[in-house]
Structure 1
Amino acid sequence: MKKFFTIMSFAVAIIAAMAGCSFGSQGGTGSSDAAEEKNNMEAETKQTISDGKHRIKLTFDGGEAVVVLEDNAAARDLMAKLPMTQTFEDFNAIEKICRLPDKIVIDGAPMGVDPDVGDVTLYVPWNTLVFYYKDYGYNKDLVPIGHIESGLDKLKAMGDKFTVKMEKLAENAAGKTKITLTAGDTVIEAELDDNETSKDFIASLPITLPMKRYDDREYYGHIAKLSENGPSIPDFFNGDVTYHPGGPSFAVFFGREEDSYQPGLIRMGRITSDLSLFGKLGESPAVRIEVKK
């Protein structure tokens, strides 16, 4: 939990944030409630980043969502049937559902779920995938499939009926694009994911971007607007390469994930170099960003 600032330090922090990073809402001036929310979301998301689980991507007109799958027969059978494109519907203003054409094998999968917001289940009697955007009570006919890791708000915002392409996220791993960030003699490498936001950014390269250091956690620089059809994230992790539509800004995070809060980001990729290299860049470097040759 973040410590409360005094009124004077709170004002100074706001002025510093306005003069420095132009994202708008910044972790250094967040409330303790915002910090607690961030810690809860961060803990949940961290459990899914290095857990070795499989993921699927949902692509629709309003953007993308990523689901991390459970390790059970039903989730494995669903993944084996991908890719597929299906019609999603809103149901009871609680969930988005997808009626699957082929029966999902549930042998040995646990039955009975009290789903939380963001959970994905299989409703066995209808062979239907259910994506919850509101809380729902226990149902004995549900099998756990996974949890929406990113993009829940975009999925929730979709209308009564819409088309969604579901595919294995692992299939996109080979499509990652390697880039370099060069300032003077310092070269930092990163990998960008295969999403619409990253593709827009890659199309703008090479560029030389004036960047600024902010709060011992990030470097950011103003760029032209990009597509927002990439995975939105509740907060950053050290090493994230992101786009902030509110700038619009390109930002790379190298520290303070444990005590800073920055919502409104779209993740484009990850830094693959040692994050200590950011200590060599100074306060206002001109950074050459290009696809690695």
Structure 2
Amino acid sequence: MKNWVAFTLAVMIFFALAACGNGNSGNNDSTNSQAANESADEQKETNEQEDPSEKEQKEPGRDSKEDDEVRGSEQRVSVAFDGGEIVVKMGDNPTSRAFLDQLPLTMTFEEYGGFEKLSYPPEKLPTEGAPSGHVPARGDFAYYSPWGNVNMYYGDFSYSAGLVKLGEIESGVELLDNIDEDFTVVIKKMD
């Protein structure tokens, strides 16, 4: 009987100590949470003081080499459809050149995700030597190698592995904002 009473008492003490420990842990969590919030505020202030061009270079898929390849080309293409015309300044990279070699093309674009229109060229494009991915932004003209589709972005999106920037939409991106149905375009080089 004494053993049973001692055992019961030991179990009760164990649970009492465990409960006290959880109470202290909760206070530590509150303190840790407050410290984490202060640290996040400090980091936010530091980020706000950074040069935006430096921040842009740190993002995956947003490096200066890729931007230089887009700036290095003077080739423009016309994307003409019933709703108007979009002008794209093509990049100077192997994937962009392979796309240009397929022009002129008639393609049907469809809505995808609320931020891009996509279509499939007749032949997949090479991506050797291309960046491993890209952070697409409004106005980007890109190739998504895993699916083999070409994209016109009318909204921003997060980093996408396998996305290669082909060029930048110089004019007409606003035409994509209100197109909800599939639409057919003729893409050709401009003189």
**TM-score bracket, shorter-length normalisation:** 0.5 to 0.7
Residue in structure 1 matching 2:102, options 199, 204, 212: 204
Contact 2:105 2:186 in 1 (8 A): yes
Output one character per residue of 1:16-45: Cα deviation in whole Å (capped at 9) or x when no partner: xxxxxxxxxxxxxxxxxxxxxxxxxxx9xx
Report which of the two has the higher share of helix.
Answer: 2
**Other-structure match for 1:249:** 149
Residues 1:49 and 1:222: Cα distance change in structure 2 (over 3 Å): farther
Report which of the two has the higher share of strand.
Answer: 1
Percent of counterpart pairs with the same letter? 23
Q: Answer 1 or 2: higher relative contact order, Cα 8 Å, separation at least 6.
A: 2
| Normalised TM-score (structure 2) | 0.60
Contact 2:72 2:91 in 1 (8 A): no
The offset of 1:234, in angstroms, is 3.5
- Tell me, yes or no, if structure 1 residue 275 matches structure 2 residue 173: yes
Contact 1:150 1:233 in 2 (8 A): no
Residues 1:265 and 1:48: Cα distance change in structure 2 (over 3 Å): farther
Q: Following the alignment from structure 1 to structure 2, what is the Cα–Cα distance between the partners of residues 214 and 175? A: 28
- Tell me, yes or no, if structure 1 residue 227 matches structure 2 residue 126: yes
**Other-structure match for 2:87:** 189
Q: Which amino acid counterpart does residue 136 of structure 2 have in structure 1?
A: F
- Structure 2: gaps (5+ residues): 1-46
**SS of corresponding position for 2:99:** helix
The offset of 1:271, in angstroms, is 0.6
Residues 1:238 and 1:218: Cα distance change in structure 2 (over 3 Å): same
Residues 1:274 and 1:211: Cα distance change in structure 2 (over 3 Å): closer
Residues 1:282 and 1:262: Cα distance change in structure 2 (over 3 Å): same
Q: Following the alignment from structure 2 to structure 1, what is the Cα–Cα distance between the partners of residues 156 and 86? A: 19
Contact 1:216 1:256 in 2 (8 A): no
The offset of 1:280, in angstroms, is 4.8
Aligned length: 136
The offset of 1:283, in angstroms, is 1.5
Q: Following the alignment from structure 2 to structure 1, what is the Cα–Cα distance between the partners of residues 124 and 64? A: 21
**Other-structure match for 1:266:** 164
Q: Which amino acid counterpart does residue 126 of structure 2 have in structure 1?
A: S
Q: Following the alignment from structure 1 to structure 2, what is the Cα–Cα distance between the partners of residues 201 and 216? A: 25
Contact 2:106 2:185 in 1 (8 A): yes
**Other-structure match for 1:239:** 139
Q: Following the alignment from structure 1 to structure 2, what is the Cα–Cα distance between the partners of residues 279 and 233? A: 24
Tell me which structure has the larger Cα radius of gyration.
Answer: 2
Q: Following the alignment from structure 1 to structure 2, what is the Cα–Cα distance between the partners of residues 182 and 199? A: 20
**SS of corresponding position for 2:127:** coil
The offset of 1:274, in angstroms, is 4.1
Q: Which amino acid counterpart does residue 226 of structure 1 have in structure 2?
A: L
The offset of 1:276, in angstroms, is 1.4
Residues 1:198 and 1:284: Cα distance change in structure 2 (over 3 Å): same
Q: Which amino acid counterpart does residue 104 of structure 2 have in structure 1?
A: P
CA RMSD of aligned residues (A): 3.2
Q: Which amino acid counterpart does residue 176 of structure 1 have in structure 2?
A: E
- Structure 1: gaps (5+ residues): 1-42, 52-67, 69-115, 119-147, 152-168
Aligned counterparts, 1:82-121, within 5 A: none
